[in-house]
Amino acid sequence: MTFQFILTEKKEQTFIITINRPDKLNALNWQTMTEIHTALKEAKQFEDIRGVIITGAGEKSFVAGADIQELSRNTPVGAKDFALQSQEILGFIENFPKPVIAAINGFCLGGGCELAMACHMRIASDNAKFGQPEVNLGIIPGNGGTQRLARLVGKGRAIELILSGNMIKATEAHRIGLVNHVYEPENLISETQNLLATIYSKASVAVKLSLEAINHGLELTLEEGVQLEANLFGLCMSTEDAKEGTIAFLEKRKPQFKGI
Ligand code: COA
């Protein structure tokens, strides 16, 4: 499938989506959002794809936000619809059954930060800059920024970032838990692939159920969350990989996981 604003590539077991509007710092217009959604729906079907990287084209920007050209033409009802539809796509990413990592190679602002926060993990190059600058445009985040940022970095820090519109550097984003790791730009993709390779060496059903338990559990009370975990733990015990993993440990050998 060919797209106008994204590039897709399958590199061994990893599906790489590169948002490709470098002349606009990879700003997310509606078509780019739908192309990301379409590409991910396709990737979900292939069993040999075990993880996804989302990154931006060029050296300057991951995504510099929603497309302000498009945004400026929105009506109130149109803006609400846009927000709801975008949130559905970000929800699809958050609930993707295989790990999705944002490899952040520069500006990660507004809708870009919201896209990155919907991914399961965020890895940044040391030149990356983060922020929710919507307040500078007289608006608030509309793609889950007020919700996911507070959940990731805590209420006080989220309020400061959203109310000030300030940008923070990758080191600060790392310090407050917004990104998992920071690397030099030339190592960003290879280090992201290394992390995915570690995950691919584990039992894929256990990876999938872990994602489900963490994602769904965070929206529940602790009591409900641990109940969900117990159910998924029991389900996981029914897999061949669970037998293989435990027996291999007892036999002092490396497990041979099959994904079943
Ligand atoms: N939407 C649409 N176009 C955007 C954009 C966005 N979010 N961010 C950058 N661009 C465009 C610029 O208009 C410019 O296009 P042009 O060359 O046709 O004029 C091009 O990308 C390069 O951006 P420029 O501003 O010249 O780069 P810079 O290095 O001087 O500044 C930023 C970089 C990120 C600080 C600045 O582009 C910016 O503030 N962008 C908007 C960020 C934002 O508010 N995002 C939240 C949107 S809700």
User: Atom 10 of ligand 1 has which residue's CA nearest to it?
Assistant: 24
Spatial contact of 168 and 129, defined as CB atoms under 8 Å apart? yes
Percentage of the chain with pLDDT > 90?
98
Distance 42 CA to ligand 1 centre (A): 30
Residue 2's pLDDT band (boundaries 50, 70, 90)?
confident
| Neighbour order of strands in the sheet with 121-125 | 6-11, 14-19, 51-56, 100-104, 121-125, 181-183
Block residue for tokens 């619809």: 81
Q: Which fold has domain 204-250?
A: Lyase 2-enoyl-coa Hydratase; Chain  A, domain 2 (1.10.12)
Model pLDDT for residues 120-152, shown as the tens digit of each residue: 999 999 999 999 999 999 999 999 999 999 999
Q: What would the mean pLDDT of 36-41 be, rounded to a whole number?
A: 97
Distance 25 CA to ligand 1 centre (A): 6
Architecture of the domain spanning 6-200? Alpha-Beta Complex (3.90)
Block residue for tokens 């507070």: 150
How much is the mean pLDDT over the chain?
A: 96
Q: Is the pLDDT confidence value at 50 over 80?
A: yes
Model pLDDT for residues 203-244, shown as the tens digit of each residue: 999 999 999 999 999 999 999 999 999 999 999 999 999 999
Q: What is the pLDDT of residue 173?
A: 98
Q: What would the mean pLDDT of 73-80 be, rounded to a whole number?
A: 92
Q: What would the mean pLDDT of 166-187 be, rounded to a whole number?
A: 98
For the chain, the structural domain boundaries read 6-200, 204-250
User: Atom 18 of ligand 1 has which residue's CA nearest to it?
Assistant: 24
How far apart, in whole angstroms, are the C-alpha atoms of residue 170 and residue 233?
36
Q: Is the CB of 67 under 6 A from ligand 1?
A: yes
- Tell me, yes or no, if 172 is annotated catalytic: no
Query: Hey, do 6-200 and 204-250 end up sharing a CATH topology, with the first three levels equal?
Result: no
- Tell me, yes or no, if 134 is annotated catalytic: yes
Which atom of ligand 1 lies at the shortest distance from residue 109's CA?
Answer: 45
| Cα atoms in the Cβ-side hemisphere of radius 13 Å centred on 198 | 5
> pTM, whole model, 2 decimals?
0.96
How far apart, in whole angstroms, are the C-alpha atoms of residue 31 and residue 231?
39
Q: Which of 29, 68, 136 to mutate for ligand 1's pocket (most ligand atoms within 8 Å of CB)?
A: 68
